[in-house]
């Protein structure tokens, strides 16, 4: 927990290796990443579920157990909205993961019913506060990275809403703030300045380079499910090429002899 927390206090942001199974965790470790974070969307896709808590929590626990078994890197797990509306159940879910060695949790302030919508800020903050209190009571230490989805959902005043929520979530006991789809420099500056929480951004086509993000005060960079999606696009292209060419050579690269 302390090692993972310290990664969020450096002058340059750290890149968390977003993974979805044991094999991807091994790849991230071999590539030199200092910590791993699961992608809920990627794990759901891997198991044939839609994103948005459609995967049974027990199956998520199984996948986390396998990831933890192959890597000793600090591991953070995305539990979406907690797989419950009850803080006691959410805290119990976190305790199950902590027992596997998980040191961080992503908890988002939107829910998927018919559509994905933001939970009212004070209502979500009350959940965060209650979950933190239960975890402290049971001496369960995890880094609670609260995800604010105002930008992801395209809210009209996304920056102002995120600034407001950052301050509310800090008071509720959040350890970090994750803002997917936050990409513009002025917005990043405003969100970083809104609280003392380390700010986590996510890969997007127009996200500034890491050097610029460091200058803006970003502390953590995620790739979400995009590496998983890119891998499957590559797989599809390979399978199509092999079928159309009538040869397996494309699987082995241009340098293959024979």
User: Which tokens belong to 229?
Assistant: 């999606």
| Model confidence at 226: pLDDT above 70 | yes
Which of 14-18, 118-122, 237-241, 249-253 has the lowest average pLDDT?
249-253
Answer yes or no: are the C-beta atoms of 25 and 19 closer than 8 Å.
Answer: yes
| Model confidence at 189: pLDDT above 80 | yes
**Opening angle at CA 107, ends 103 and 113, nearest 5:** 145
| Model confidence at 84: pLDDT above 50 | yes
Q: How would residue 23 be classed by pLDDT, with cut points 50, 70 and 90?
A: very high
pLDDT score for 1:
83
pLDDT digits (tens, 9 = 90+) for 63-77: 999 999 999 999 999
**How many whole angstroms from its chain centre is CA 114?**
23
Region 125-134: mean pLDDT is 98
Region 181-196: mean pLDDT is 98
Helices then strands, each counted (H, E), the chain: 10, 11
Q: How would residue 255 be classed by pLDDT, with cut points 50, 70 and 90?
A: very low
pLDDT digits (tens, 9 = 90+) for 25-40: 999 999 999 999 999 9
pLDDT score for 254:
57
The residue length of the chain stands at 258
> If you average pLDDT over each of 92-96, 235-239, 243-247, which comes out highest?
92-96
Answer yes or no: are the C-beta atoms of 128 and 169 closer than 8 Å.
Answer: yes
**How many C-beta neighbours within 10 Å does residue 2 have?**
9
**Rounded Cα–Cα distance for residues 92 and 87 (Å):** 8
pLDDT score for 253:
74
Q: How would residue 258 be classed by pLDDT, with cut points 50, 70 and 90?
A: very low
User: Which tokens belong to 23?
Assistant: 């094999």
The 3-class SS string of 193-208 reads HHCCCCEEEECCCCCC
pLDDT score for 257:
37
Entry pTM: 0.94
């Amino acid at each position: 927990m302390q090692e993972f927390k310290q990664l969020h206090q450096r002058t340059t942001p750290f890149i968390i290796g977003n993974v979805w199974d044991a094999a991807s965790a091994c790849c991230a470790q071999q590539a030199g990443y200092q910590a791993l974070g699961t992608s809920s969307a990627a794990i759901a896709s891997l198991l044939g579920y839609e994103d948005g808590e459609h995967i049974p929590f027990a199956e998520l626990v199984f996948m986390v157990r396998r990831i933890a078994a192959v890597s000793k890197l600090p591991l953070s797990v995305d539990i979406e909205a907690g797989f419950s509306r009850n803080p006691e159940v959410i805290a119990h879910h976190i305790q199950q993961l902590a027992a596997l060695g998980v040191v961080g949790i992503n908890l988002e302030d939107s829910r998927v019913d018919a559509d994905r919508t933001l939970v009212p800020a004070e209502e979500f903050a009350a959940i965060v506060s209650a979950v933190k209190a239960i975890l402290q009571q049971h001496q369960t230490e995890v880094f609670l990275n609260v995800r604010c989805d105002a930008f992801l959902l395209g809210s009209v005043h996304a920056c102002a809403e995120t600034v407001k929520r950052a301050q509310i979530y800090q008071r509720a006991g959040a350890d970090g703030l994750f803002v997917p789809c936050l990409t513009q420099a002025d917005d990043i500056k405003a969100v970083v300045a809104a609280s003392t929480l380390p700010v986590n951004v996510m890969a997007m086509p127009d996200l500034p380079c890491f050097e610029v993000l460091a200058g803006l005060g970003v502390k953590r960079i995620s790739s979400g499910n995009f590496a998983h999606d890119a891998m499957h696009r590559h797989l599809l292209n390979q399978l199509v090429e092999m079928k159309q060419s009538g040869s397996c050579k494309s699987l082995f690269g241009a340098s293959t002899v024979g």
